[in-house]
Amino acid sequence: MKVMKIEGKNKLSGTIKISGAKNSSVALLPASILADTDVTICNVPEITDTDVLCEMLEYLGADVRRASESVVISPSTIVNKEIPKEFTKKLRASYYFMGALLGKYKHVEIFLPGGCSIGSRPIDLHLKGFEALGATITNENEKYIVEAKELKGANIYLDIASVGATINIMLAATLAKGKTIIDNAAKEPEIVNIATYLNNMGAKITGAGTSEIRITGVDKLHGCFHEVIPDRIEAGTYIIIGALLGENLKVYNVIPEHLESVTSKLVEMGGDLQIGSDYIIVNARNNYKKTHIKTMVYPGFPTDLQQPFSILFSRCNGTSIVEETIFENRFMHLKELEKMGMSCKSEGMVATFVGPNNLKGCEVSATDLRAGASLVTAALIADGTTTIRNVEYILRGYEGIVEKLTDVGAKIKIEEIE
């Protein structure tokens, strides 16, 4: 088993380059199925999530060639067959194969395990969209068969502005007959990145990034060249770390407007940020003003950053609050943070933090990807050494995290233990 060991309190200075967005890449890779000829995607982060998706594409018969952060996919040799649980239990975002295979072959068979640690994470809105386009769905103990004689454009209203459902319906609608409108669509930047990719293939999609996306079906899609946008959640994580330990820490390859809700909150608390065109320079402060965060769909405060962000409350005088409105179980990291000396508790979807706290290194366990990020952040400011178990969660979403932090002065390593 792998563990991460971090020795705290080292100042961090220098430059951290942000990788391509995990939450774009996990949709762009399956979307490649829709093209008839080769696609090249640049800036794909080398993380376990993208490894699994490339394996799934190869399992289906695609030729996949990876060279550092570029992936070339030849979809012409794909055979549409059932996708087994061995893949989908590793990665929930494998549900994007549903929209891509349904869109291309009008049939998909996939084992999709239920929720995960942060919530039940149903896919009812994805399925509602597929049915609206004319598909029938059968589901026998976690195996979904989704098929249609023909897919026809439809008007689809999403009860929740779901990122996954918005993308999955977009994938299925690109080759449908006629017009599809997705109303109350999610507006995350990753959705724009995927729509641009599909349009580069010859799709006709307008309105991505707004709450109304229009798709006019086309007959076929061709290969193209595309680039993954920078990962705003990875960037936000390092900016938070910089606000705790940075000495002119430069986080670059960033699209600052994607992080406006986070950087403006940090400035409100007394943060020292220099925001450039594609970088943010951050300096640590010893104390911050307490605050109240409410996670919202984009452009609101991202749910994926509330966990690492809350480590800043150890530098606040008084009570700070996090109201989580997206996932029902996203506070499992609190009991691990308490072990390190944070004073925090949660009631339903609200967590309260009373600062200031001096954190001490100890043994903790990651319960999900962003919980792991909060433990890394806490360990970097704690006295002594922290050992983080279940480090696989962290390696799912942070490319080269040990190298990136070591390069700016952190004492961090990964060890194998029996």
Structure-token pair, residue 402: 């040990």
Closest CA to 132 of 91, 79, 170: 170
> Residue 183, interface with ligand EPZ (CB under 6 A)?
no
Nearer to ligand EPZ, 14 or 122 (CB): 122
As a whole number of angstroms, the distance between CA 246 and CA 238 comes to: 9
Pick from 397, 401, 402, 404 the residue near ligand EPZ by CB under 6 A.
397
Residue of 54, 116, 224, 362 with catalytic role = 116
Nearer to ligand EPZ, 91 or 273 (CB): 91
Pick from 124, 150, 257, 415 the residue near ligand EPZ by CB under 6 A.
124
- Beta-carbon contacts of 233 under 8 Å, excluding residues fewer than 6 positions away, are 21, 22, 23, 302, 304, 305, 370, 397
As a whole number of angstroms, the distance between CA 129 and CA 159 comes to: 11
Nearer to ligand EPZ, 123 or 316 (CB): 123
The least CB distance from residue 228 to ligand EPZ, in Å, is 13
Helix/strand/coil for 41: strand
> Residue 90, interface with ligand EPZ (CB under 6 A)?
no
Nearer to ligand EPZ, 227 or 234 (CB): 234
Alpha helices, H only, 89-231:
96-105, 124-132, 163-173, 189-200
Size of the site for ligand EPZ (CB under 6 A): 25
DSSP β-bridge partners for residue 383: 360
Nearer to ligand EPZ, 223 or 397 (CB): 397
> Residue 326, interface with ligand EPZ (CB under 6 A)?
yes
Helix/strand/coil for 102: helix
Pick from 12, 18, 26, 388 the residue near ligand EPZ by CB under 6 A.
26
Catalytic residue at 54? Answer: no
The least CB distance from residue 286 to ligand EPZ, in Å, is 29
**Half-sphere exposure in the Cβ direction for 314 (13 Å, CA):** 28
As a whole number of angstroms, the distance between CA 405 and CA 153 comes to: 48
> Residue 209, interface with ligand EPZ (CB under 6 A)?
no
> Residue 146, interface with ligand EPZ (CB under 6 A)?
no
**Half-sphere exposure in the Cβ direction for 241 (13 Å, CA):** 32
Nearest residue to the partner ligand EPZ, using Cβ: 164
Pick from 369, 371, 378, 405 the residue near ligand EPZ by CB under 6 A.
369
Q: Residue 266 — φ and ψ, nearest 5°? A: -65, -40
As a whole number of angstroms, the distance between CA 407 and CA 72 comes to: 30
DSSP β-bridge partners for residue 282: 249, 273
Q: Residue 294 — φ and ψ, nearest 5°? A: -125, 115
Positions in 217-256 near ligand EPZ (CB under 6 A)? 233
> Residue 280, interface with ligand EPZ (CB under 6 A)?
no
Task: Give the distance from CA 148 to its chain's centroid.
Answer: 30
Could you tell me which stretch among 4-12, 34-42, 121-129, 245-253 binds ligand EPZ (CB under 6 A)? 121-129
> Residue 162, interface with ligand EPZ (CB under 6 A)?
yes
> Residue 123, interface with ligand EPZ (CB under 6 A)?
yes
Pick from 130, 327, 331, 353 the residue near ligand EPZ by CB under 6 A.
327
> Residue 304, interface with ligand EPZ (CB under 6 A)?
yes
> Residue written as tokens 């996306």?
213
Catalytic residues: 116
Give the residues lining the site for ligand EPZ (CB under 6 A): 22-23, 26, 93, 119, 121-126, 160, 162-165, 186, 233, 303-304, 326-327, 369-370, 397
